[in-house]
Copies of this chain bind each other. A is one copy, B any other.
Amino acid sequence: MIIIMKPNVSRQEIKAMIERIKKMKLEPHLLRGTERNVIAVVGDERNLQRQPLEIMPGVESVVAVLKPYKLASRESKRERTVVKAGSLSIGGEKLAIIAGPCTVENRSMLLHTAKAIKRLGAGGMRGGAFKPRTSPYAFQGLKNQGLKILAEARRQSGLPIITEVLDPRDVSVVARSADILQIGTRNMQNYELLKAVGQQRKPILLKRGMAAGIDELLMSAEYIMAQGNYQVILCERGIRTFNDYSRNTLDLTVIPALKERTHLPVIVDPSHGTGKRDYVIPMSRAAVAAGADGLLLEVHPHPERAMIDGQQSLSFEEFGELMDDLKKLAPIVGRNM
């Protein structure tokens, strides 16, 4: 930790700070500069991070040297994590393509979709049973009945199932039906839910919050891992900016930035990331070209009749075209399909 003192700091203020650091069993080094004095602290500064040093007299600012996450960091684990769910691997050489409707609307549409995406090469199936909706009056999902339909789709297609969980009280029932539990963007910092899924032993797909910095995303992963569940997949799904031409601003640079910092796999959701069907195909290609480990895509038999998010869902035909593009693109980035 580096403590930058104000230009007019007094001797006594410096002395008080040095004593405080020593009390924490850390080692202070005073560096007298031409315009500012700086105190560098050697030792595990994480203790010090809990103290409001900024408020001590004479302090101008405080800079952390160490990252706040440990289990999620590449320093704790150099080799890449490959998360496995049934036949699907995420983070390995093969791109993980997870597709399906925003929500489970009924049995026949879901089974029909499962069959189609399987045939077109998807490795997993997504579908919401519990839906977080902005409006309390909107359709909130088929809930338990939806979970049953998802389980049937898995049996028929062999595709592992990914579905969202919203409430700590639902975690165990969702975990019985699903292969991967999804934490949605609105719940990225719902810490009680993170703890609850951390106690499961199924992989967790953690979506980035729409205003979450990269460290905050990794701290939310750390919450899950601190409970003993190390199978975490990170998902970029667009952030909120001043842009109004798209639903969110897809931040693809986060892919190489996360790969620098963490061993966890990173996938991209271009459906929510753009909110517009016409942008999904180019941005899916871009995500893979930027190094993503996979994609989470909304695909619907009839997007124009979808109950939710039809404007951002691909038809089967479009999904098939995208898969063809990705087959050609994957080898360029050292991947396969």
Q: Which chain A residues have a beta carbon within 8 Å of chain B's beta carbons?
A: 2, 4, 7, 29, 31-36, 38, 40, 42-44, 46, 50-52, 54-56, 63, 65-66, 68, 75, 132-139, 166-169, 186-187, 189-193, 195, 209-211, 213-214, 216, 219, 222-223, 226, 239-246, 249-257, 260, 273-274, 276-279, 282-283, 285-291, 303-304, 306-311, 325, 328-329, 332-333
Contact = CB atoms under 8 A, between A and B. Distances in A.
A283 B283 CA distance: 12
B249 A274 contact: no
A273 B50 CA distance: 20
A238 to B, nearest CB: 9
Contacts of A241: 239, 241-242, 249, 251
Nearest to A70: B137
A329 B40 CA distance: 44
B211 A211 contact: yes
The 7 A-B pairs of least Cβ separation, nearest first, read A52-B310, A211-B211, A186-B189, A289-B289, A286-B290, A167-B192, A285-B289
User: Which residue among A32, A133, A252 has the maximum number of chain B CB atoms within 10 Å of its CB?
Assistant: A252
Nearest to A326: B332
* Copies, count: 4
A213 to B, nearest CB: 7
A273 to B, nearest CB: 7
Given A167-B168, A222-B135, A55 B311 contact: yes
B7 A303 contact: no
A311 B239 contact: no
Contact of A33 (B65, B166, B211, B256): B65
B286 A287 contact: yes
A132 B190 CA distance: 8
A252 B311 contact: no
Contacts of A186: 189-191
B303 A136 contact: no
Contact of A252 (B44, B245, B252, B278): B252
A40 B135 CA distance: 23
A136 B243 CA distance: 22
Contacts of A285: 289-290, 332-333
Contacts of A286: 252, 286-287, 289-290
A3 to B, nearest CB: 10
A252 B283 contact: yes
A223 B166 CA distance: 15
Contact of A253 (B132, B244, B246): B246
B239 A243 contact: yes
Contact of A138 (B50, B134, B244, B329): B50
Contact of A34 (B44, B222, B257, B291): B44
A255 to B, nearest CB: 7
Given A2-B38, A134-B219, 7 more contacts: A55-B277, A55-B311, A187-B190, A245-B257, A249-B251, A260-B278, A289-B329
Contacts of A329: 289, 329, 332
Contacts of A244: 213, 244
